[in-house]
Amino acid sequence: MREDLADLYVDSRATAPGDAYRRPGRQDFLNRVTADMGRPGFAMVIAESDGLMGCAFGFPVRGDGSWWLGFDGVMPRSVGQLTVSGRAFAFSDILIRPHPQDRRLARRVQERLLTDHQASLGATLVDGADHAALAALRSWGWLDVGELRRPLGAATFRALVFPAGEHTAASLEGLVTMPAGGGPGGP
């Protein structure tokens, strides 16, 4: 299944003409999946039809807040509360094969993973320069809550959250922040 996942990664991350961002390659993706599989609570949801159409995978966020280390600014209180209560799940990746129903499929795999883990909040980090991934996540219902920089990395990440259920969505309303120079789709 590793090779099928790698094929899905390549297909779902096709670079648009003029996109200067260099996505990690196939082998980098496989290395990351292998490392994530060793994390406590790792889980993956796969969607298939005639073949592999999509997947989402990740792990529970530790309640000590360490996942948010390097967050720039003030962490939204509701995000912090859900993290401390153990109700946040980190999405390492969401891969959806380009298709007219990709938005609906993305939502289904995201919600399934959160439901399976009894999580109220999905969280992910995206390289701030990866405008295509940011636009896709925002179109799938993710909210941008700020910027994060890992101590050892040079990249600046956008921190996004995905509220599960109406109650969580209502508590996060009004938290969306926009990156410098752009609206929801970036500059």
Q: Is the dihedral of CA 132, 98, 5, 49 positive or negative?
A: positive
Packing angle, helices 77-84 and 165-172, rounded to 10: 140
Per-residue pLDDT band at 166 (split at 50, 70, 90): low
Distance of CA 178 to the CA centre of its chain: 17
d(CA 154, CA 151): 8
Residue of 105 and 25 predicted with greater confidence: 105
User: How far is the C-alpha of 100 from the C-alpha of 58, rounded, in Å?
Assistant: 25
Domain map of the chain by residue range? 2-172
User: What is the rounded average pLDDT of the residues 104-132?
Assistant: 91
CATH topology of domain 2-172: Aminopeptidase (3.40.630)
pLDDT at 157 over 50: yes
Question: Tens digit of pLDDT for each residue in 26-83?
Answer: 888 899 899 999 999 999 999 988 888 999 999 999 999 888 988 988 888 889 899 9
What single DSSP character describes residue 82?
A: H
pLDDT band at 187 (very low <50, low <70, confident <90, very high): very low
Q: Are 45 and 22 in contact (CB under 8 A)?
A: no
What are the residues whose beta carbons fall under 8 Å from the beta carbon of 132, sequence distance 6 or more?
A: 13, 15, 16, 19, 21
